[in-house]
Amino acid sequence: MSGARPEIQVRNPRSGEADYTLVPADRSAVDDACTGLRGNQGAWASAGLEHRISVLRAFAKSLEENRESLVEALVLDTGRRAISIVEVDIIAPAIERWVKIAKELEEDPVGRSSALPFIAYTITKRPYGLVGIISPWNFPLTLSIMDALPALLAGCAVIIKPSEVTPRFAAPLRRVIADTPGLGGVFTVIDGDGETGTALVDSVDVICFTGSVPTGRAVGEQAARNFIPAFLELGGKDPAIVLDSADVERAATALLRGSILNAGQACQSIERIYVAKAIYEDFLARLIEKAQAVTLNWPDIGEGHLGPIIFERQAAVLVKQIDDARAKGAVVHTGGEIEEHGGFWLRPTVITGLTNDMKIMQEETFGPLLPVIPFDSVDDAVAMANDSLYGLSACVFAGTEEEAIAVGRRIEAGGISINDAALTALVYEAEKSAFKLSGMGASRMGRSGYMRFFRKQSFMVNTAEVFPIDQFDEGKAE
């Protein structure tokens, strides 16, 4: 079992001190857990959708009963409170959303072959056996659970491996699972780091990975060697385009929120802002004013808008991007300096005087930076927005929906918010694919987010005569 590997000391993002010890599961512990789950999955799948729905609703009830301990653990993991509460409270409605989708898709399609109408077919759904989920640290609970719910409803067993940066919520989550009758045999959470994740990819039938591009690439390569599907949800460098017809006040309000929510530690954060020259000065003045009004949730976690930088190493990334821009002549209007209070905080940092090839415009930031570049023509704006290795999501602001959507169609990204920012985090029904290095595989949202956990098995029934081999005799071909 686990314990053979060295313990990991986990840093608290508010105090900066190590106050938690993680014992990463080794390969044999992962294998044992997976063997147990596989042994129970067949009965889970054959128990039927109604049974699985009732167990997941009991899970929602158990979450409600354990809400405080889960929230407290998430607060220690992330240093922010309001979003931790949201992370817990969105699970019950999410279960109902997936239940609705699962019911809509329950019936197996039947039909007849168009080439051979005497052959009827039924297309059945066969759930994969065991789904592995590897999650990052920025929304530790949300990004662990969101793929688990549809997979469990589909009839799969599920094992989650959270990030070693934010592992405290795993124990209360295990309690919630243990308190849910009928769930523990097919759903588990295992502690660990990258090595544990590597072992997991060797032990499951599907891997759902959310994290960085380099790790996603390693996971994708390993999954390919194992011939298992890998759904990769990776990094982003989301652009915003604000056209001269846009409501400037609305754009500034939405873009500030879309850039700094969760201290910018969100894959769908707006990380580049392109503004039409005609409204640039007005937009910039409003953005700076709004950014200056933002407060930190320090020293009191019960107040303020911005939590700490959760992962210590991320602070260095932010400093590198700001310093690089400054050295090349950029102007920092707000924020710009990491504030150390044990942990690290950064106020919204509005920066101008940039060119699109700078690090701050090209590399993922994952922090509250708002770099703004004015543009002359829509073609220039679209070209700059598409000049990126990433293609997760984007947003466009314009005077009319039609104008915004017409520009949005030219952007190489999966989720385009119109006259608002980062809506992909709030809208769960809208399917979207990641473009470029931002990911791979079917959408985790909407119906495909459920259907991707099934293999299809078709039954083809011929009630007429069978073809004799003579029908394929070379001598009879005309």
Q: Does 210 bind ligand NAD (CB under 6 A)?
A: yes
CB-based burial, 223-250: b 16+ in 10 Å, e otherwise: beeeebbbbbbbbbbbbbbbbeebebee
Residues 146-165: x where in contact with ligand NAD by CB under 6 A, - otherwise, as a string: ---------------x-xx-
Question: At closest approach, how far in Å is the CB of 142 from ligand NAD?
Answer: 9
Cβ distance to ligand NAD smaller for residue 224 or 293: 224
20: left (phi over 0), alpha (psi -120 to 50) or beta: beta
How many C-beta atoms surround the C-beta of residue 127 within 10 A?
A: 22
Q: Interface mask (CB under 6 A) for ligand NAD, residues 245-274, using x and -?
A: ----------------------x-------
- Comparing CB distances to ligand NAD, the nearer of 161 and 272 is 161
The residue range among 120-128, 227-235, 381-389, 403-411 that interacts with ligand NAD, by the rule CB under 6 A, is: 227-235
Nearest residue (CB) to ligand NAD, 182 versus 264: 264
Which segment (61-69, 213-221, 279-287, 470-478) binds ligand NAD by CB under 6 A? 213-221
Q: Which residue number places its CB atom closest to ligand NAD?
A: 197
233 noted as active-site residue: yes
Nearest alpha-carbon partner for 371 in 248, 466, 459, 240: 240
The CB-side HSE value for 395 (13 A sphere, CA atoms) comes to: 29
Strands annotated E in 227-375: 230-233, 238-242, 270-276, 331-332, 339-341, 343-345, 349-352, 369-375
Does 105 bind ligand NAD (CB under 6 A)? Our answer is no
- Tell me: does residue 443 bind ligand NAD (CB under 6 A): no
In Å, how far are 48, 60, 77, 97, 454 from 92, measured between CA atoms? 20, 5, 22, 9, 23
Contact 156, 131 (CB under 8 A): yes
Residue 255 CA to residue 369 CA, distance in Å, equals 11
Q: Which is nearer to ligand NAD, 182 or 229 (CB)?
A: 229
Positive or negative, the Cα torsion across 37, 39, 42, 43? negative
* CA 58-163-136 angle, 5° bins: 85
Residue 140 binds to ligand NAD (criterion: CB under 6 A) = no
| Segment interacting with ligand NAD, rule: CB under 6 A, options 97-105, 111-119, 135-143, 462-470 | 135-143
Q: At 347, is the secondary structure helix, strand, or coil? A: coil
197 token code pair: 């994740």
Candidate list 31, 179, 193, 420; residue touching ligand NAD; CB under 6 A:
193
Catalytic residue among 34, 156, 208, 267: 267
Q: Does 226 bind ligand NAD (CB under 6 A)?
A: no
Residues 306-365, interacting with ligand NAD (CB under 6 A): 364
- Please choose, from the candidates 159, 198, 421, the residue with its C-alpha nearest in 3D space to the C-alpha of residue 290: 421
C-alpha distances (whole Å) from 46 to each of 17, 40, 42, 52, 177 are 48, 11, 6, 10, 20
Instruction: State the nearest-atom distance from the C-beta of 472 to ligand NAD, in Å.
Output: 49
Q: Looking at 439, 441, 443, 449, which residue binds ligand NAD (CB under 6 A)? A: 439
For ligand NAD, the closer of residues 195 and 247 by Cβ is 195
Active site residue 68: no
Position among 2, 62, 135, 297 found at the interface with ligand NAD (CB under 6 A): 135
Q: In the 8-state DSSP scheme, what is residue 311?
A: S
For position 368 contacting ligand NAD by CB under 6 A, the verdict is no
Q: How far apart are the first and last CA of the chain?
A: 68
Q: What are phi and psi of 296, to 5 degrees?
A: -85, 155
**Span 387-416, contacts to ligand NAD by CB under 6 A:** 392
CB of 135 to ligand NAD, least distance (A): 6
Judged by CB under 6 A, the number of residues near ligand NAD is 29
Q: Which of 40, 54, 69, 212 binds ligand NAD (CB under 6 A)?
A: 212
Q: What is the Cα–Cα distance from 121 to 41, expressed in whole angstroms? A: 27
Q: Does 142 bind ligand NAD (CB under 6 A)?
A: no
- Region of 85-93, 137-145, 244-252, 410-418 interacting with ligand NAD (CB under 6 A): 137-145
Is residue 431 within the footprint of ligand NAD (CB under 6 A)?
Answer: no
Closest CB to ligand NAD among residues 346, 404: 346
Closest CA to 377 of 310, 460, 278: 278
**Residue number with CB closer to ligand NAD (179 or 312):** 312
Report the C-alpha gap between 135 and 141 in whole angstroms: 9
Which of 145, 186, 206, 208 has its CA nearest to residue 47?
186
- Complex with ligand NAD: residue 242 or 309, whichever CB lies closer: 309
Give the catalytic positions in this structure. 233, 267
Which residue ranges make up the site for ligand NAD (CB under 6 A)? Answer: 134-138, 143, 161, 163-164, 193-194, 197-198, 201, 210-212, 215, 218-219, 233-236, 267, 364, 366, 392, 439
